[in-house]
Amino acid sequence: MEISDIVESLNGRDRGAYFFVIDMDDDYVYLADGKGRPADKPKRKRHKHARLIARVEGGTAKKIRSGERIQNSELRRALAAFAAETGRTEGGL
């Protein structure tokens, strides 16, 4: 798992929801979806409670990796586009 990956929450109230990895450290990943979890207040989850769904290379992912300020609407649009492309439901969103 790396910064800007799309992951699925495996545990908790948000189980099944998709998020972008905004930041990470040794024990935790910090997740945001732009809706329930805005980019400026990411959800902290242990690595084992998030499953890698996809590595994306779009503009949103590049902004996250470069550390630029990201708008919540960009996160929502990117997750919705990913779900539409892959035919997945947006699990919990």
**For the chain, which ranges sit under pLDDT 50?**
93
What is the reported pLDDT for 90? 58
What is the reported pLDDT for 89? 64
- DSSP per-residue letters across 6-17: EEEE-SSTTTT-
Closest-CA residue to 55 (of 8, 91, 7)? 7
The CA angle 60-58-20, to the nearest 5 degrees, is 50
What is the reported pLDDT for 93? 46
What is the reported pLDDT for 84? 87
Third-level CATH fold of 6-86: SH3 type barrels. (2.30.30)
Question: Which regions of 1-93 does DSSP assign to beta strands (E)?
Answer: 6-9, 18-24, 28-32, 43-46, 50-54
Q: What is the pTM of this model?
A: 0.87
What is the reported pLDDT for 91? 56
